[in-house]
A and B are shown apart, each in its own frame.
Chain A
């Protein structure tokens, strides 16, 4: 079985400050990990993905995430927040077993960016 835990359903940062969104996963096999962003009343857009290559993954809009196997974590960071980063962020894990290939999502973290 696989699962994802996102710590903090709401995170607030000032514009220009560091963004850190936490994600811990559980998987019985080597996982693939993803971060998605969702703006109000829209679908999800892929920010970045980890597929067992480099442990530090760079994504769109200046975001990056580091896969740490020892901590079972895949936290999302951005050095300097922008107002346009305000959205909901979802971490997801996929662990392929047999012919099944399902993506399991965390409950999301809503990022607020203040002036």
Chain B
């Protein structure tokens, strides 16, 4: 079955450590996105990529980094510079044009 796989589902880290969240899609989608979800704040865009080897900052990119070396993969690194990293992270992808976003099941990151 085609879809978006985010791993792991739960992730725990100590403050000061970098951590990388995985996102893989087999839908042959062109664009990929990372959102952060906090209670009562909806989804906020971190980074997005419309083609391989190119990506743009979203609304809250500070403290995060991404890469897009392959069409199907868009990993997100949460660096120690991110002041409030504990959140639910959602990866999404879509074809070009007016197609809607398809979401993975998310990774819940807890930093203590």
Residue ranges of B at the interface with A (Cβ–Cβ < 8 Å): 4, 6, 9, 31, 33, 35, 40-45, 48, 50, 56, 58, 90, 92, 98, 100-106, 108
Contacts and interface: CB of A to CB of B under 8 A. Distances in A.
Interface in A75-115: 90, 99-108
Q: How large is the interface on A (under 10, 10 to 19, 20 to 34, 35 or more residues)?
A: 20 to 34
Contacts of B98: 32, 49, 51
A72 interface: no
A101 B43 contact: no
Given A42-B105, A44-B90, A46-B100, A102 B48 contact: yes
Q: Is the interface of B mostly helix, strand, loop or mixed?
A: strand
Contacts of B104: 43
Contacts of B100: 34, 46, 49
Contacts, number: 54
Contacts of B48: 102
A102 B101 CA distance: 10
B56 A100 contact: yes
13 contacts: A32-B98, A41-B9, A41-B106, A43-B90, A99-B50, A101-B31, A101-B50, A102-B48, A104-B45, A105-B35, A105-B44, A107-B40, A108-B40
A105 B50 contact: no
A101 B29 CA distance: 14
Contact of A43 (B31, B44, B58, B106): B106
